[in-house]
């Protein structure tokens, strides 16, 4: 389990820029990223209620999703879907709420929920929204566009750093969109 890629953008754009390292700020997010803040930073959510806590400080996607999308013919690469951290070897979508991920030696993130895919995906490439949605055997919607997290402990993370998964106490809560 490791960090495959890192990215950020100081403006609210769909894709981000790949960087070799990120500085995480406890309780706020990533230095130099538009989604950093104690209060919600996503424009649609700010419009609805600017006083909500920011449960979407960091966006993580598994490299396995990018590989699947590429095999389905989509032109996606690290940072194109707007993630901050591209992971490998972790089934992010199967983690329970409040799972802690330790990235490298210093940074701890707490998983808050699922990223809810939006129409911007189809603006990037037609059909991409449908490609990151699925249904389980019971017909329940599966969101595959990654997970969101908050920064519990800050520090610096570099590409190639190891990731350790620490589960919360049971009973576990299934991830829901945030």
- Quote the tokens at residue 161: 């750093």
pLDDT band at 43 (very low <50, low <70, confident <90, very high): low
Within a domain: 83: yes
Cβ–Cβ under 8 Å, residues 122 and 132 = no
Q: Is residue 29 part of a domain?
A: yes
User: Which pLDDT does position 42 carry in this prediction?
Assistant: 73
Residue 5 near residue 132, CB atoms below 8 Å: no
The answer to whether residue 8 is domain-embedded is: yes
Q: Write out pLDDT tens, residues 12-33.
A: 888 999 999 999 999 999 999 9
Q: Is residue 172 part of a domain?
A: no
Decide if 117 contacts 141 (C-beta within 8 A): no
Q: Look up the pTM and report it.
A: 0.94
User: Does residue 176 lie in a domain region?
Assistant: no
Query: In whole numbers, what is the pLDDT of the chain averaged over residues?
Result: 94
Instruction: Please give the pLDDT value at position 50.
Output: 75
Mean pLDDT for 115-130 is 88
pLDDT digits (tens, 9 = 90+) for 75-101: 999 999 999 999 999 999 999 999 999
pLDDT for 46 beyond 70: no
**CATH for 152:** 2.40.33.20
Q: Is residue 34 part of a domain?
A: yes
Read off the pLDDT band of 52 (50, 70, 90).
Answer: confident
Mean of pLDDT values over 165-169: 98
Tell me whether residue 56 is in a domain: yes
In Å, what is the CA distance from 55 to each residue of 24, 49, 100? 15, 13, 14
Three-class DSSP category at 144: coil
The number of domains in the chain is: 1
Residue 119 confidence (pLDDT) above 80: no
Q: Note down the domain range covering 68.
A: 2-166
Taking alpha carbons only, the member of 16, 18, 33, 14 closest to residue 128 is 14
Q: Is 173 domain-assigned?
A: no
């Amino acid at each position: 389990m490791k960090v495959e890629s890192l990215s950020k953008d100081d403006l609210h754009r769909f894709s981000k820029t790949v960087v070799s390292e990120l500085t995480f700020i406890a309780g706020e997010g990533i230095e130099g990223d538009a989604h950093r803040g104690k209060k919600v930073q996503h424009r649609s959510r700010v419009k609805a209620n600017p006083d909500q806590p920011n449960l979407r400080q960091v966006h993580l996607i598994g490299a396995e999703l990018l590989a699947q999308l590429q095999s389905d013919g989509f032109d996606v690469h690290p940072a194109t879907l707007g993630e901050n951290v591209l992971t490998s070897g972790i089934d992010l979508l199967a983690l329970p709420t409040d799972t802690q991920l330790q990235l490298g030696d210093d940074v701890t993130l707490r998983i808050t929920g699922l990223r809810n895919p939006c129409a911007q995906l189809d603006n990037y490439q037609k059909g991409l929204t449908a490609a990151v949605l699925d249904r389980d055997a019971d017909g329940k919607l599966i969101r595959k566009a990654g997970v969101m997290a908050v920064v519990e402990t800050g520090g610096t993370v570099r590409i190639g750093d190891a990731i350790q998964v620490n589960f919360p106490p049971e009973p576990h809560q299934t991830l829901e969109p945030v």
